Structure 1
Amino acid sequence: MRLDKYLTTTLPSEITRNQIQKLIKSGKILVDAKPGKVSQLIEPGQIITVDYELPYDPTLYSENIPLDVVYEDNYLLVINKPPGLIVHPGAGNATGTLVNALLYHCEYLSNENGPYRPGIVHRLDKETSGLLVAAKDNSVHSSLRKQFTNRKIDKRYLALVWGVMKQPSGDINLPIGRSLKDRKKFAVVPDGRESLTRYEVVEQFEFLTLLRLKLETGRTHQIRVHLSHLNHPVFGDPYYGGRNTKMITLNLRNRLLAAKLLSVMKRQALHAQSLSFTHPISGAIVSCEAPLHDDYLEILGLLREQNA
């Protein structure tokens, strides 16, 4: 029996055959730990892994959560998201998200991304700070989404990473997909999706490097995965080797400093610093920048003291 037909008969009825085919094509269904194909014939004894969560059906509440609005007009807004703020509600997080704040702040929001993610055009990880754009109507949302898809939006990040980069600038062009070892993580895998990150060194410290990065593609955890794969994980990153695993490589003096820095930076040191796009209505270029948050500024100050 074909893989898609088999799964149609075995998975919950809420998951349609069309959805199953999309999951297969996106690499979220594995057969014996390898990406499956829609027309693939399956055999008894094969292990099929499906990466899918049934849609969460929350009741959305508006909440008066302060927002750092960098730019706003009648059609969209750009926000400097603080670390620790989840973008949209999910299981266990029905309130206290950016969506709840947007519902309070805005009279209208797009529903192009579904009724439970109003206004959300793209996302940032919970502990990643920086710029995020939200749309107030569907036509604006669709235009922004196309700009992301066609790589017309310029997104740049600052990342503090472990170690010293061999080159002052470069491209990381490595495919990314679900990790075969831990399905909750992503990794560089041969059959992954094309992923391109460009970087340049901004500032060099004794055992850490401050990078500016430009995303040419928008894969989940792309910067964190790429840098971890190069053995330069983002400082503080608990999922991709950015906390204590590198401490053993340091001398005592630097180990003490690293421990102090980690006590301040309790998250990955990743910040969406700048965002430029074409305004869907006016056609003007909108360029925004977001200042670093206090924890990031503090660790950079401590590192610069050491360099002085």
Structure 2
Amino acid sequence: MKEEKVVVSEKDNNSRLDKFLTTIFTDKSRSFFQNIIEEDLVKVNGNTRKSNHKVKENDIVEIKFPDAVEGSVEAENIPIDILYEDDDVIIVNKAQGMIVHPAPGVYSGTLVNALLYHCKDLSGINGVVRPGIVHRIDKDTSGILVIAKNDFAHMKLSEDFKKHSITREYIAITEGIIKNDSGTIDKPLARDPKERIKIAIVEGGRKAVTHYSVEKRFKNNTMVRCTLETGRTHQIRVHMASIGHPLVGDPVYGYKKQKFKVNGQMLHAAKLGFIHPTKGIYMEFTSDVPDYFAKILQVLGNT
């Protein structure tokens, strides 16, 4: 990963962060910088900021440029579960284990590879590597995603995600018994300064809010419904771990010794609701937990 450091000059005083970066790195688009700012790869005076942050003269801006994905992204005949499709959007129920888009070292088998085979018309805002991708869920998280088929739909949906007006509900199984029937976790998130592959609760990080409610308690575990007010990387996983209830199967934030043999965290994106970008009507989609998830719930119910 290439790193650059620049100092804000007098002429750029009070400029938006994303716009300032495009004046320095003229070969990169504003949307490119908005994406890497979202990934916490840009810091101003050592702190992560939003795209609309106003930089000041003599501010030090540090940028980490992601490694470029080699080659083009090929269409692949991979079965995907499509819940709905029209001229603007595709609603996909992603399986656990599928990566959403190509990244360094992973160029095939992703949801994008499958989408390119299924649909030739996808928005181009995120370039050839992430066509149509408005938001993501982790590889080992299953559930619902909305894909944009054109740039107008992509921009409208992106605006709604930024305004936090999208309904997103997840079902999770946590370690331990959560005593409160419901609660809200409001803790800022950023890259862990010691372990860059992890997200941590960091003072000055991006605001992150998770609401949770208990669906069912078992002997040593709890099934919860988590509603996202914001959508940060690993948000639910980090937030639940922060209150002493990491997700079952989580290889990064969970217990080192796992009771069940599962392929990652027990987390499912069960509901997604949004205003359709051209129809202007509210649409909501739901997805039952997959079979492996249901089997764990059955085992827990019998213990």
What TM bracket, shorter-length normalisation? 0.7 to 0.9
Residue of structure 1 in register with 2:296 after alignment: 299
Residue of structure 1 in register with 2:6 after alignment: 4
| Alignment partners' CA distance in 2, 1:288 and 1:124 | 16
Q: What is the 5 A alignment of 1:18-37?
A: 28=41, 34-35=46-47
User: Structure 1 pair 154/29, CA: closer, same or farther in 2 (3 Å)?
Assistant: closer
5+ long unaligned stretches in structure 1? 7-14, 43-47, 245-257
Residue of structure 1 in register with 2:52 after alignment: none
Say whether 1:129 aligns with 2:136.
Answer: no
User: Structure 1 pair 134/29, CA: closer, same or farther in 2 (3 Å)?
Assistant: closer
- The match for 1:113 among 121, 126, 130 is 126
User: Structure 1 pair 29/100, CA: closer, same or farther in 2 (3 Å)?
Assistant: closer
Residue of structure 2 in register with 1:216 after alignment: 229
| Alignment partners' CA distance in 2, 1:112 and 1:41 | 29
| Alignment partners' CA distance in 2, 1:110 and 1:234 | 34
2:293 alignment partner, SS class: helix
1:4 alignment partner, SS class: strand
| Alignment partners' CA distance in 1, 2:79 and 2:265 | 23
5+ long unaligned stretches in structure 2? 9-21, 49-54
Identity of aligned residues (%): 40
Q: TM-score, normalised by structure 2?
A: 0.83
Cα drift, residue 52 of structure 1? 3.5
2:7 alignment partner, SS class: helix
| Alignment partners' CA distance in 2, 1:133 and 1:21 | 22
Q: Return the letter of the residue paired with 2:291.
A: D
Residue of structure 2 in register with 1:193 after alignment: 206
| Alignment partners' CA distance in 2, 1:300 and 1:117 | 34
CA contact (8 A) 1:30 1:50 kept: yes
Aligned length: 275
Q: Return the letter of the residue paired with 2:290.
A: H
| Alignment partners' CA distance in 1, 2:38 and 2:149 | 31
Say whether 1:17 aligns with 2:19.
Answer: no
Q: Which entry has the higher C-alpha Rg, 1 or 2? A: 1
Residue of structure 1 in register with 2:68 after alignment: 55
| Alignment partners' CA distance in 2, 1:173 and 1:269 | 22
Cα drift, residue 50 of structure 1? 5.7
Cα drift, residue 28 of structure 1? 3.5
Q: What is the 5 A alignment of 1:85-164?
A: 85-164=98-177
CA contact (8 A) 2:132 2:148 kept: yes
CA offset digits 1:222-278 (Å, max 9, x no partner): 11111111111111000112441xxxxxxxxxxxxx63x2x1x22100000000011
